[in-house]
Amino acid sequence: MFMIKTLACLIIILSSTTLGFSYSKLYNERLSNLINFQHCIQILETEIIYAANPLPDALKEVYNKGNKKVSYIFDEIRNYLLNNKNSNVYDGFLHIASELNEGLCFKEQDIEIILSFGRSLGISNRTDQEKYFKVLEVQLKAQQREAEEEKLKNGKMYKSLGILIGFGIVLALY
């Protein structure tokens, strides 16, 4: 009987600790994905502004050169635009909005910034596009700082909470 109680206690503690660490990992993922997304945006800027590639070609280059953990989104946008000839770039960005939240752990504010950029992409001349890229870069850097702060603050908290809740449940049961 003692063995079963000990095993149950260990399972409870390990489960709650795992949940705490898993939730903490979401903060790490968001920061990492924001950094990788910004790198992909820099590739896109180079392809559009300096190489003067058409948008579908530029999106393909971002997919090929960027970190696949994030760059697949640009391939999704490209495929959407190629398969839906009457749609605009913003529709392509709207198409991937749920993936930004679920797959990349982006917050609503991150997604709004990206969708705002999607509205302006491809509708003006190269000089204006360059300005839009700079604005996006500043906004993404601010989001990265926020994500770093949240990671430091909340990441440790959820790890600790997971462990403490596990011990609390064990103490409450015995």
Q: What is the mean pLDDT of the chain?
A: 91
- Which pTM was predicted? 0.86
Retrieve residue 156's tokens. 């440790």
Q: Distances from the Cα of 128 to the Cαs of 48, 108, 139, in angstroms?
A: 12, 26, 17
Q: What is the pLDDT of residues 7-61, one digit of tens each?
A: 989 999 999 999 999 999 999 999 999 999 999 999 999 999 888 888 899 999 9
Q: What is the pLDDT of residues 59-83, one digit of tens each?
A: 999 999 999 999 999 999 999 999 9
| Residue 100: predicted pLDDT | 85
Of the CA atoms within 13 Å of residue 107, those in its CB half-sphere come to 12
Q: At 97, is the pLDDT very low, low, confident or very high (cuts 50, 70, 90)?
A: confident
User: Which residue do the tokens 């390990």 mark?
Assistant: 14
| Residue 115: predicted pLDDT | 92
Retrieve residue 91's tokens. 């529709």
- Does residue 125 register a pLDDT over 90? no
| Residue 27: predicted pLDDT | 92
| Residue 1: predicted pLDDT | 82
Angle (CA) 143-118-58 rounded to 5° is 105
